[in-house]
Amino acid sequence: MALTLGRVLIRLLPALVAAVLLGLVAHVLAGHASEGVPQLPDLDQETPSNLVVSVIGPRRSPQYILGFRSAVRNVGDGPLIISGHRPDRGPDTMVADQQISRRGGPAELIRRVGRLRYVVSPDHRHWHLLGFERYELRTADGKTVRARDRKTGFCLGDRYGVGDRELAARAPKPVYTSRCGLGEPARLGITEGISVGYGDDYRANLEGQYLPLTGLRAGRYVLVHRVNADGRLRELRRENDAASLLLRLRWRRGVPYIRVLAVCPDSARCP
């Protein structure tokens, strides 16, 4: 009798193991489902626009710069939410975390995606997210950088609406409309972001919205704007994080002239 029972158990053992494994898998999947579906932003870098050549410095040694409008919009499934914090007033920067909304579950916090600094300049006196967007002037083949930005960061917000496409997750109205702690350098925390269906833009020659032209040879160059250059921000995709223009630079009697030859959305290369 004992021998017969043992044989039965041996025959049932594979089925019992399979049932246990299936139960474990179901439990894990149920756990993930209960956490909700992440609603990620999709940061879409717009092509540079409103180019303007300006002169700065004394008349005897003028310096020429190329100013431009830059813009990044959110066309994803959820908002870009940046939460800055510091323990006290000692550090001059805040740690920046990213909050990820989840459908049917609690929000997720991605820690240390960047830093925020209180910037004091003629145009800005508030908390900037550092390195959110970068600008470069490259040779026509895209291999060599001839000029890089010195931008101090960005005060993120819902500055304009996206009007050229339908977005299921579009926010019904602007959410991030603060001035990023304007006149409040003693703050210990701050929240900035870009809602779905809105964008953040900066006009030409605003603090850091330019690149130097003085010293460059005449020829063709590619002006590249890129968001999330270090890839630390979580988003749906990265294919639209860069946009560019192919330019021709000419000098006439020591004065630079710029002509746009091609517009290349969603690409850092502009042949």
Q: How far apart are CA 134 and CA 88, in angstroms?
A: 29
pLDDT at 152: 78
pLDDT at 28: 41
Residue carrying the six token digits 């496409």: 165
Q: Are 187 and 92 in contact (CB under 8 A)?
A: no
Q: How far apart are CA 210 and CA 138, in angstroms?
A: 14
pLDDT per residue of the chain (271 residues) written in tens, 0 to 9: 444 544 544 454 455 444 444 444 444 444 444 478 999 999 999 999 999 999 998 988 899 999 999 999 999 999 999 999 999 999 999 999 999 999 888 999 999 999 999 998 776 789 999 999 999 999 999 999 999 998 878 999 999 999 999 999 999 999 999 999 999 999 999 999 999 999 999 999 988 899 999 999 999 999 999 999 999 999 999 999 999 999 999 999 999 999 999 999 999 999 8
Q: What DSSP string runs through the chain? A: -HHHHHHHHHHHHHHHHHHHHHHHHHHHHHHHHHH-EEE---EEEPPPEEEEEEEES-TTS-EEEEEEEEEEEE-SSS-EEEEEE-SSSSSSEEEEEEEEEEETS--EEEEEEEEEEEEESSS-EEEEETTSEEEEEEETTS--EEEE-----B-----EE--SS--TT--SS----S-SSTT-TT-SEEEEEE-TTEEEEE-TTSTT-EEE-TTPPSEEEEEEEEESTT--S--S-STTSEEEEEEEEEEETTEEEEEEEEEETT-S---
pLDDT at 151: 86
Q: Are 169 and 39 in contact (CB under 8 A)?
A: yes
Q: CA 52 → CA 64, 178, 210, 213, 226, distances in Å? A: 10, 29, 9, 12, 19
> What is the four-CA torsion angle of 44, 133, 261, 252, rounded to 10 degrees?
160
- Point out which residues pair with 271 in neighbouring strands: none
pLDDT at 248: 98
Q: How far apart are CA 229 and CA 265, in angstroms?
A: 16
Give me 150's structure tokens.
Answer: 């010195």
- Point out which residues pair with 94 in neighbouring strands: 116
Starting at the earlier edge strand, list the strands of the sheet with 255-264.
145-148, 133-139, 219-227, 242-252, 255-264
pLDDT at 29: 41
252 CB-near residues (< 8 Å, 6+ apart): none
